[in-house]
Amino acid sequence: MSALPSPPSPWKVSQPPARELADLFAAIDRHAAMLLAKHPNLLIPGTGVGGYAEMGPFKARSLVTLWREHGEWFGGSCPLCGGPARGLRAVGLLTIGGIEGICLSCGMRLARFAGGICRILEIIPDNLLPRVTPKNLNPDWGVVLRVLERLGEKGLTPSPRARG
């Protein structure tokens, strides 16, 4: 087993906050155990691997496992408010790239440099990597919301912008 690459740079603020999106990911975080057990294949919009290694979105199982087991890369805390930060997407080119994330508390969108998409792919276990299939090209927040509502989440916004 090869040594893991050294940790990426700390989170930096990258874009204005996206409150509604943060609320959705906070709900996913709260229900991580239930999603792992009951909805592991739920596709999560706005996540995955993009750029050089364009792949589909992460499944719930992959996303919450990365948050839990690779917190050095996909977790941490917000540089602005100290709240929990969560990585959502690996983006970039061979040697220029990083992880985009969001603060679950203040909603600030974050990014951390991680030395290129290849380096990030090294730390994501093969069985957690997304795959592009016709079915997962455009995952729908509506589907995720219905699952979260069944888990008791109310008042989440149905169609936030996933990116941009």
Binding site for Zn ion (CB under 5 A): 78, 80-81, 83, 103, 105-106, 108
d(CA 109, CA 94) in angstroms, rounded, equals 23
User: What's the min distance (Å) between Cβ of 73 and Zn ion?
Assistant: 18
Q: Which is nearer to Zn ion, 51 or 107 (CB)?
A: 107
d(CA 70, CA 100) in angstroms, rounded, equals 14
Half-sphere CA count of 73, side-chain side, radius 13 A? 29
Q: Which is nearer to Zn ion, 9 or 95 (CB)?
A: 9
Q: Give me the sheet containing 12-15, strands edge to edge.
A: 12-15, 109-113, 97-103, 85-92, 48-49
User: What's the min distance (Å) between Cβ of 158 and Zn ion?
Assistant: 24
User: What's the min distance (Å) between Cβ of 106 and Zn ion?
Assistant: 3
Helix, coil or strand: residue 43: strand
User: What's the min distance (Å) between Cβ of 54 and Zn ion?
Assistant: 29
- Cβ atoms of 108 and 17 within 8 Å: the answer is yes
User: What's the min distance (Å) between Cβ of 81 and Zn ion?
Assistant: 3
Q: Which is nearer to Zn ion, 5 or 71 (CB)?
A: 71
Q: Which is nearer to Zn ion, 22 or 66 (CB)?
A: 22
What the block records as the tokens of 85 is 């930060």
Categorise residue 94: left if φ over 0, alpha if ψ from -120 to 50, beta otherwise: alpha
Q: Which is nearer to Zn ion, 49 or 104 (CB)?
A: 104
